[in-house]
Amino acid sequence: MKDHGDKPLSNTQRAVQQLRSMILKGELAAGTDHLESELAETLGMSRTPIREAALMLESKGLLEMRPRKGVRILHVAPEDMREIYDILTELESLAAQRAAEARYSSADLKFLAGTIDQMDEAIQAKDLEAWADADEAFHTELVRLGKNRRIEDIVSMVNDQVRRARLTTLFIRPLPLQSNEDHRAVYTAIERGEPDVARERHKKHRLQAKAVLLDILEKHRLSSL
Amino acid sequence: MKDHGDKPLSNTQRAVQQLRSMILKGELAAGTDHLESELAETLGMSRTPIREAALMLESKGLLEMRPRKGVRILHVAPEDMREIYDILTELESLAAQRAAEARYSSADLKFLAGTIDQMDEAIQAKDLEAWADADEAFHTELVRLGKNRRIEDIVSMVNDQVRRARLTTLFIRPLPLQSNEDHRAVYTAIERGEPDVARERHKKHRLQAKAVLLDILEKHRLSSL
DNA sequence: GCATTCATTTGCGTATGCATTAAAAAACGC
DNA sequence: GCGTTTTTTAATGCATACGCAAATGAATGC
């Protein structure tokens, strides 16, 4: 997970990383506007790399560039979450299927198994942050095993949007006890080479997660994140 | 399909449109490199809007910016087509399902029906171009009816990549006779409000299309488009 | 000849400046 | 006072300039 090629990162790339991180952490709050020149000053560079970075983040759906109003950090509304979860459901389920078709060895699946164990531990320890990290690692790895670069990109893109929602909802939501049962079932199906099982089980898992999340959003009247 | 608000389009937007169009038409051939300054001169503007446009097209997967080598127009290899069709299969099938769930009226589905008729006519007239246009319209409209903005965006993005492949393969491939049967079946399922049927039928349709295309690519040893 | 070092070119990353024009503020008429 | 026009302000879109590093080519040593 680290960029161990430590070549002198360009300003544009740094701007992308920093802005993204600030948005995900909520330091740049949803709905707020920021002038290019402000951001430039904040990050200690000129407007040019800021503009380029903003353009990229715009195409990733994190913000919107509005002439004369600055860049606006986008909300994630419940309707957005519905859209996003639907996409994740479909694409990850396919990835699970493909992973099962690929007949990976246990060694290949070691990392995936590890994330499941981490989730168990995190739940024991009631450490929600750790659970969330491991959960994300599980899903990322699953998609990677599905061997479709474009799906990886798409999923990672929409995940950036989910992450903000998680920031708010993580501590509201009930302990995800059922969740790891699903993960194990998906894992087992992949290991055994049962594509349909892997697919359907993961789909069920995602639909469940979607239902839980939307329920929370409704109950707490969270109309934007 | 038209931008009828004829406000003075920015250079960056024009650059995006023109470069995209040149790539889709093959005027900028896959695998070729182009200096930012060349493109700037070609389109009669400075490097700044060209860079911004290239950045956007890069995130859409049409090209790649490589320091000192210029922007490279990307190939679409058979492996890419596999990835793309897998994505289209999943997301469009979901759209079909959702469209069926939405219980659209016949009036709402008029446009979709129209595209099917156009395909019939085009097949009668053996007009492959017209068929391809209508086919694309069908798929686009189907996704629109699925009411998921993000899916619309993703599908339109990968479609740009498919379009280039179609440019080459359209005249090699057999007349898509079976195809419109699928379209009608999907349409009927949507009209009747049968989500599972719509979904499965469309999925079958896409899997079939994928098989046909990959078969052609292999038979003709088309390793990149 | 061939490798190696040095000089030169050149394309990019970024800063900067400016014209444009939308928005805000001010002036004006009623 | 309030709606309308004019003026002012200021953020953007874009052109341009420039330093740097990479690639290219020349020169040198062996």
Band (pLDDT 50/70/90 cuts) for residue A6 is low
SS3 string, B87-149, reads: HHHHHHHHHHHHHHHCCCCCCCCHHHHHHHHHHHHHHHCCCHHHHHHHHHHHHHHHHHHCCCH
**Total Cβ atoms within 10 A of residue B47:** 14
pLDDT at A7: 66
Choice among A17-21, B48-52, B214-218 with the minimum mean pLDDT: B214-218
CA B62, B68, B69 angle in degrees (round to 5)?
A: 45
Tokens found for residue A218 = 């409704």
- Asked whether residue B4 carries a pLDDT value surpassing 50, the answer given is no
Strand C nucleotides within 7 Å of a protein CB: 11-17, 21-23
User: How confident is the model over B72-88, as a mean pLDDT?
Assistant: 96
Provide the shortest C-alpha distance from residue A164 to chain B (in Å): 17
Q: Smallest Cα–C1' distance to nucleotide D23: which residue has it?
A: B68
CB contact under 8 A, B56 and A60: no
- Asked whether residue A185 carries a pLDDT value surpassing 60, the answer given is yes
B4 touches strand C (CB under 7 A): no
**Total Cβ atoms within 10 A of residue B70:** 19
Band (pLDDT 50/70/90 cuts) for residue A4 is very low
pTM: 0.93
Tokens found for residue A162 = 């989910």
- Closest listed residue to residue A85, CA positions, set A221, A204, A219, A223: A204
Nearest CA in chain A to B60: A59
User: How confident is the model over A152-180, as a mean pLDDT?
Assistant: 91
A68 touches strand D (CB under 7 A): yes
A81, A83, A161: best to mutate for the B interface, most B CBs within 10 A = A83
**Total Cβ atoms within 10 A of residue A177:** 8
Distance B40 CA to D16 C1' (A): 13
CB contact under 8 A, A51 and B52: yes
- Closest listed residue to residue A75, CA positions, set A164, A171, A169, A4: A164
For B170-204, the pLDDT digits (tens) are 888 888 888 999 999 999 999 999 999 999 999 99
pLDDT at A2: 40
Q: Which long-range contacts (CB under 8 A, 24 or more apart) does A15-18 make?
A: A15/A39, A15/A43, A15/A45, A15/A49, A15/A50, A15/A52, A15/A53, A16/A53, A16/A56, A16/A57, A18/A43
Written as one letter, the residue type at B84 is I
- Asked whether residue B2 carries a pLDDT value surpassing 50, the answer given is no
Q: What number of C-beta contacts closer than 8 Å exist between A and B?
A: 56
User: How confident is the model over A129-140, as a mean pLDDT?
Assistant: 95
Q: Residue B111: CB partners within 8 Å, gap ≥ 6?
A: B141
Out of A55, A80, A91, name the one closest to residue B56 (CB): A55
pLDDT at A173: 86
For B104-136, the pLDDT digits (tens) are 999 999 999 999 999 999 999 999 999 999 999
Tokens found for residue A63 = 């913000």
pLDDT at B119: 96
The Cα–Cα gap between A43 and A32 comes to: 17
- Closest listed residue to residue B159, CA positions, set B182, B176, B179, B143: B143
Residues forming beta bridges with residue B63, ordered by sequence position: B73
For A81-134, the pLDDT digits (tens) are 999 999 999 999 999 999 999 999 999 999 999 999 999 999 999 999 999 999
Band (pLDDT 50/70/90 cuts) for residue B3 is very low
* Helix, strand, or coil (residue A77): coil
Residues forming beta bridges with residue A71, ordered by sequence position: A34, A65
User: How confident is the model over A181-188, as a mean pLDDT?
Assistant: 97
Angle between helix B110-124 and B177-192 (nearest 10): 160
In a 10 Å sphere around its CB, with 0-12 CB exposed, 13-18 middle and 19+ buried, how is residue A82 labelled? Answer: middle
CB contact under 8 A, A150 and B83: yes
The Cα–Cα gap between B128 and B134 comes to: 10
Q: How far is CA B78 from CA A47, B62, B165, B215, in A?
A: 40, 15, 9, 10
Contact, A97 vs B164, CB < 8 A? no
Q: Residue B13: which nucleotide is closest by CA–C1'?
A: D13
SS3 string, A107-143, reads: CCCHHHHHHHHHHHHHHHCCCHHHHHHHHHHHHHHHH
The Cα–Cα gap between A18 and B146 comes to: 35
CB contact under 8 A, B87 and A154: yes
- Asked whether residue A159 carries a pLDDT value surpassing 60, the answer given is yes
**Total Cβ atoms within 10 A of residue A1:** 5
Distance B129 CA to C21 C1' (A): 43
- Closest listed residue to residue A133, CA positions, set A172, A181, A166, A90: A166
For A19-73, the pLDDT digits (tens) are 999 999 999 999 999 999 999 999 999 999 999 999 999 999 999 999 999 999 9
Distance B215 CA to C7 C1' (A): 54
A55, A66, A161, A199: best to mutate for the B interface, most B CBs within 10 A = A55
CB contact under 8 A, A56 and B61: no
